[in-house]
């Protein structure tokens, strides 16, 4: 039961996040794109990342997917 619940939760998170990042890069939507920059220039250290919106949406979707799975299982 716990393994299946984990698989449903993690699978929905990975699928949702991956699809949103894919859509963001396919249609050039900055809110859904992941961009990574790293510059060191002798310890000047400049780091930026991309949007975390797909990860947050993926977490919300995985939460609801787990709740729905547990409700259907019972």
**pLDDT, tens digit (0-9, with 9 covering 90-100), for 11-51:** 999 999 999 999 999 999 989 988 878 888 877 788 878 88
Rounded CA separation 15/9 (Å):
10
Q: Roughly how many angstroms between the first and final C-alpha of the chain, as a whole number?
A: 11
**pTM for this predicted structure:** 0.80
> Range of 57's domain?
2-73
Q: Provide the number of structural domains found in the chain.
A: 1
pLDDT reading at 61 higher than 80 = yes
* Spatial contact of 16 and 31, defined as CB atoms under 8 Å apart: no
Question: Mapped to the 3 state alphabet, what secondary structure does 15-49 carry?
Answer: HHHHHHHHHHHHCCCHHHCCCCEEECCCCCCEEEC
């Amino acid at each position: 039961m716990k393994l299946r619940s984990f698989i449903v939760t993690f699978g929905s998170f990975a699928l949702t996040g991956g699809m949103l990042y894919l859509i963001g890069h396919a249609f050039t939507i900055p809110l859904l794109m992941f961009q990574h920059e790293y510059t060191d220039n002798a310890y000047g250290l400049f780091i930026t990342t991309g949007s975390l919106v797909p990860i947050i949406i993926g977490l919300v979707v995985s939460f609801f997917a787990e709740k729905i799975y547990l409700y259907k299982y019972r």
